[in-house]
Structure 1
Amino acid sequence: MDQSDKYTSARVAGREHIPLYPRNFIALRIVQLVLAVIIIGLAAFGVAGLAFDGDIFIMVVGIFTLIATTYYLVAEYNQPNAYNYWAVLALDIFLVVMWLASFALLASQVSALFAVVNNTYYDSYSDTYYKYASDAITTAWVSCLAAAAGLGGLEFALFVGSLVTHSVVLHRHRRAGLHCTPGVAASEPHGSNELKQHQVYTTAVPAQQAYAVPAPGYQAGAYQQA
């Protein structure tokens, strides 16, 4: 096996329950956090113009992501007692589903808005300056919503990546006999108990056979006493 594939069970005291992530994995969590803040701002600008379900939905998902990524960073690097890899797994799965639903819904509604804006009818007697100003504001508003949908799709891809990475390191963590509770020593790796039981059984069989065989000279001694 390649040396890079080995997963050590050695941990700093108090961090026995935290899996070993790839180097720079924290950068992925920071990017997820920053994109969530940007999406919340874009969605809030959209809600200020017109509140509809796709815009509100993606803003709420962004707030959930802000809370979840803050928990990831604080629990893993500052408060390890609050870290639980099952909670991280559940949050990643939840956010993958939510980002897929939210960015897809907003993208479909933004495409309809672009069609409406491009086909807007203006009265020939309306003020020319007002017409172009209204065009610019509406286009900027719809463009912000389109950017929110695009960044939502990027967040979806990033959370798929973090979910796959976390699942792999979680599998290796548990295969090494480590647990989700700080301060708990590593147990035997999977399969070692069966091996020990097999060894005990094979070594116990000869002893039982030796005990079952009568000791030599026992019958002769009995006849002599008689």
Structure 2
Amino acid sequence: MSQAAAHNTDVVPMPRWSSAIGCARVALAVVVLALTAAATSIWGNYDAFGFTLFTASASLIIFVYYFIALSCQPNLYNRWAVLGLEMFGVIFWLTSFALMAQWTSVYNGWWYGNGNSRGFWNAPYRPEDIGFAKRTVVKRSVNKYHAGVALAGTAAGLGAVEFVLYTLTLAIFGMSLRQQRIRATHADAPVVSVTDTSTDVEAGTTATEDKTLNDGTDEAKTETEPVTV
């Protein structure tokens, strides 16, 4: 934690190794962004690609906010905003890697050819099994469409790792936030002081007794004084 953020009592304390997780999240977001952009350039725009591009870009923006709020402008830090951003990361990365994995599973079983191979092939048997020549089917290892599927599958796997990292930091942040609020509640609780009033009671009783004795003495003096005519 930076010195600027240390003066902000609203900052939720996090373990030091959480910084390493933050750096890993940024690196993975950059890689996923690059892989998804490459797959999009090959296959075109799909909902899974667009959603993943948005999620990866948002993760980079979140990192920039964390860096500025914890290093340069601590007044921008808000623990509830951080909690919301962590929840956003968990939900959106879960959706992103699920969409990419589903898209990859659909297109991974296709044959991608050119020329007389009649384009895409999606069947439980190979094209040559029904008479298509092998030379009309481009090998998967060199076909750009299959390469795009491989890129999308890799992005899906890294997106799953991002989801795990966001879930971990959300759990740690939530526990730290709860402990911080408990400590703040105990610190703000009013202190009830108990004063020993026995001395005051005894003093009051003594004063009453003295007054009673004085009144009795005065009355006795009045009774014994001779009446002057």
Q: Shared fold by TM > 0.5?
A: yes
Q: 1:147 aligns with which of 129, 144, 154?
A: 154
Partner of 2:75: 81
Equivalent-residue separation in structure 2 for 1:109 and 1:98 (angstroms): 16
> What letter corresponds to residue 180 of structure 2 in structure 1?
H
Equivalent-residue separation in structure 2 for 1:84 and 1:143 (angstroms): 40
1:132 counterpart = 2:132:
no
Equivalent-residue separation in structure 2 for 1:155 and 1:89 (angstroms): 17
Partner of 2:186: 190
Are the structure 2 counterparts of residues 89 and 192 from structure 1 closer, same or farther at C-alpha, using a change threshold of 3 Å? closer
Offset from partner CA, 1:148-167 (integer Å, 9 cap, x none)? 11111000000011111212
Unmatched 5+ stretches in structure 1: 1-10, 178-188
**How far does residue 146 in structure 1 lie from its aligned partner after superposition?**
0.5
Q: Within 5 A, what are the aligned runs for 1:95-174?
A: 95-117=89-111, 119=122, 128=135, 131-132=138-139, 136-174=143-181
Equivalent-residue separation in structure 2 for 1:29 and 1:50 (angstroms): 31
**How far does residue 221 in structure 1 lie from its aligned partner after superposition?**
2.3
SS at match of 1:69: helix
Are the structure 2 counterparts of residues 47 and 209 from structure 1 closer, same or farther at C-alpha, using a change threshold of 3 Å? farther
TM-score of the aligned structures, taking structure 1 as reference length: 0.74
Partner of 1:61: 55
> What letter corresponds to residue 173 of structure 2 in structure 1?
H
**How far does residue 122 in structure 1 lie from its aligned partner after superposition?**
5.2
* Structure whose CA Rg is larger: 2
Offset from partner CA, 1:75-117 (integer Å, 9 cap, x none)? 1123222222221111001111111122112211210111334
Checking the alignment, whether the CA contact within 8 Å between 1:122 and 1:131 is kept in structure 2 is: no
Equivalent-residue separation in structure 2 for 1:30 and 1:99 (angstroms): 16
TM-score of the aligned structures, taking structure 2 as reference length: 0.73
**How far does residue 217 in structure 1 lie from its aligned partner after superposition?**
2.0
Equivalent-residue separation in structure 1 for 2:105 and 2:204 (angstroms): 86
Are the structure 2 counterparts of residues 155 and 142 from structure 1 closer, same or farther at C-alpha, using a change threshold of 3 Å? same
Offset from partner CA, 1:3-22 (integer Å, 9 cap, x none)? xxxxxxxx986333323321
Equivalent-residue separation in structure 1 for 2:76 and 2:83 (angstroms): 14
**How far does residue 134 in structure 1 lie from its aligned partner after superposition?**
9.2
Unmatched 5+ stretches in structure 2: 112-120, 220-229
Matched pairs, number:
201
Q: CA RMSD in A?
A: 3.1
SS at match of 1:18: coil
